[in-house]
Structure 1
């Protein structure tokens, strides 16, 4: 099973439900504070972190970047930039573990992210 933590500042419960649905029975999902979510990645208790906020960076990913470092974290959308499907898949393949996004882009980007995670772990 792939372990995914949902953090960030907005819509955690909704995102967690979507992650579980998109996970095709292959994921476990937990909702945590930003700090606890990043620590779960750092200690190996979870494999991936997903968070959302209005900017896709600060509230969604700030603590994760601080604890895990920028090499493991990426904002897949910010108000001025939305990654393409190919870019998201490349980030997963490159080993990114923490993903932030603008809350308004979750419905469009989360399915791509989850598919990339499932394929990377199959």
Structure 2
């Protein structure tokens, strides 16, 4: 799985006093905002083809994917109207529903038949 380098990673590196971040091109995705923030803060992004770059975030500070998602959601919500615990509860509920659906979620919610010529006929009463 590729590592996502965000503007927050660049800001954290700048706060730690780093002037350069090494990133493996094949194993990372750098957001456009991260590039802009790096340019503004004077942090150079060193793109290399090596297999082990300097981590953009130290291992002790790395967050799980669910923590990053929760923080992103909280940052986009109006302040004071939602608590972190409410967001965590909603995320847990969504994850449980997603797991319970499993592969059934991949099935279309309508009935269709594809003919030999590639024409797909959808039963209108199933929509």
| TM-score in same-fold range (> 0.5) | no
Name the larger-Rg structure. 2
TM-score band by shorter chain is under 0.3
| Structure with greater strand share of residues | 1
Query: Which structure would you say has the larger RCO, counting Cα contacts within 8 Å and 6 or more residues apart?
Result: 1
